[in-house]
Amino acid sequence: MSTEAKHSTVLIVDNLELRRAGLYYLVDGWAGRVGLKTRAAGLREVQDGMTELGDVKLILFSIGGITIREPAVQEATQALRNLFPSIPCAIISDRREPDEAIEAAAMGEQAFFSTSMQPEVACQAFTFLLGGGTYFPREALLESAMSRSHRDQAPTKFEGVSDGLTRRQVEVLERLRHGKSNKHIARELSMQESTVKVHVRQIMRKLGAANRTQAALLATAALAHQESTVSLRETEIINAQIAHAVPPPPKLPVQLVVIPSDLMSLPASGHSRPI
């Protein structure tokens, strides 16, 4: 057993045995090529020391279709960080929303993998993690950049209320304002309904609202105030333009008068010549 403990290993943590076995099959082929052994266990087994783990070099925490914002998932990731404080940990999830990857990065994870990605790409990224790198989907990086740009350059639709909300939460809040259910919001934003529920709870907490109806009313009031402010500003601009406008001189019609040559010889007395 002491010899086993000396092996450098990659640790797969997944509470579902069948899913864990499938992930083991993928990872073990890659691990052998880079000189690692593969270990797989549930979180409780890891915490209780029921499995010989060896010298862990990389942790792959598989969470399935649960959102990473779920308290149970966040507690589990914290437990793994406490057990392996200096070991890179990657989240493997069935979800594809960029917000999930962004949240993983905010939590201090080194990578986020969606099970929809190509296995060969995932294995290449595993190697990158061993060298001290990080991996997050391109869509998540773009979403994060767009979110920062949106916050820095353009006011949110609910100015004064949406401070502290993510772009996704603002989108959910807009639909709450129209009385849409979580199911409809999930369909429109291509999200899981459970993710919408998490967003709604966070929106309520950040706005200090007791329920979703109060959150929607706060958003409506903020929007009405903003629109009235904008309308007043537009009116002032228009009035200023009118006051300082200088109308161009009127254009007079131009007429070409042709005088017959025989009229040029009329006498100065002005008597008309019979025709």
Write the DSSP assignment of 36-71 as a string of letters: -EEEEE-HHHHHHT-S---EEEEEEEEEETS-TTSH
Residue closest to 59 by CA, chosen among 175, 94, 82: 82
Indicate the CATH number for domain 155-243: 1.10.10.10
> How many beta carbons lie within 10 A of that of residue 199, not counting itself?
27
Q: Where in the chain is the domain with CATH 1.10.10.10?
A: 155-243
Q: What are phi and psi of 151, to 5 degrees?
A: -70, -35
Please name the fold of domain 2-140. Rossmann fold (3.40.50)
What pLDDT does 169 receive?
87
- Please state the pTM of the whole predicted model: 0.55
CA distance 190 to 95: 11
Residues of the chain with pLDDT under 50: 1-5, 149-156, 230-231, 238, 242, 245-247, 269-273, 275
What pLDDT does 2 receive?
45
For 20, residues 6+ apart whose C-beta sits below 8 A from its C-beta are 12, 14, 40, 41, 42, 62
Kindly state the tokens that stand for 217.
């009313």
